[in-house]
């Protein structure tokens, strides 16, 4: 009795969810004889092999050149970004206080516009409900700003209008 030689191939794969899958395949090795060649199989001549190797080598050099150019530009971009961070660190260490008067004037302007819009909404609401016109108080000047917490002497806040 002759033993038949079998070859086992074990393949392990890990899915995205982390589970493992193992596949075991058994097959008999192929017997290759030099006399039975596939007639469709073409052998390259030495010159064709040489030309193919040269072509592949040139393609590889081209790819490596492109890669080195990309790495050079990446290096430049990283150095520019590093300079920005260094400048920001210097400004923050030196106490980098900038002049905020322009920003404060814009915020004051927005506050005044917000007050005007609120007054208009109150007047529209009073007209819709059929109440007599309630004229809002004039806006306070910059010298007399009201407390952001409202009048502390009032015990109850005004109720919100219902819709």
Rg of the chain over Cα atoms, rounded to whole angstroms, equals 41
Task: Give the per-residue SS3 of 30-53.
Answer: CCCCCCCCCCCCCCCCHHHHHHHH
CA distance linking residue 30 with residue 11, whole number of Å: 20
| pLDDT tens string 62-85 | 999 999 999 999 999 999 999 999
Average pLDDT of the chain, as a whole number: 77
CA distance linking residue 136 with residue 139, whole number of Å: 9
State yes or no: pLDDT of 9 exceeds 60: yes
State yes or no: pLDDT of 3 exceeds 80: no
> Which has more pLDDT, 11 or 90?
90
Phi, psi of 19 (to 5 degrees): -80, 145
Residue 115's CB is within 10 A of a number of other CB atoms, namely 13
Give percent of the chain above pLDDT 90. Answer: 33
Please tell me the predicted confidence (pLDDT) of residue 11: 72
- What global pTM score does this model have? 0.33
């Amino acid at each position: 009795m002759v033993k038949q030689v079998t070859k086992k191939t074990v393949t392990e794969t890990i899915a995205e969810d982390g589970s493992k899958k193992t596949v075991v395949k058994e097959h008999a090795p192929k017997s290759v004889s030099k006399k039975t060649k596939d007639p469709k199989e073409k052998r390259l001549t030495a010159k064709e092999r040489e030309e193919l190797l040269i072509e592949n080598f040139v393609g590889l050099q081209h790819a490596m050149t492109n890669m080195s150019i990309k790495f050079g530009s990446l290096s430049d971009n990283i150095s520019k970004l590093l300079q920005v961070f260094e400048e920001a660190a210097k400004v923050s260490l030196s106490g980098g206080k900038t002049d905020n008067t322009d920003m404060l004037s814009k915020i004051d302007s927005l506050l005044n516009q917000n007050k005007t819009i609120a007054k208009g909404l109150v007047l529209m609401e009073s007209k819709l409900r059929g109440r007599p016109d309630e004229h809002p108080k004039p806006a306070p000047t910059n010298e007399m700003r009201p407390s952001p917490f409202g009048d502390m002497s009032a015990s109850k806040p005004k109720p919100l209008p219902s819709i």
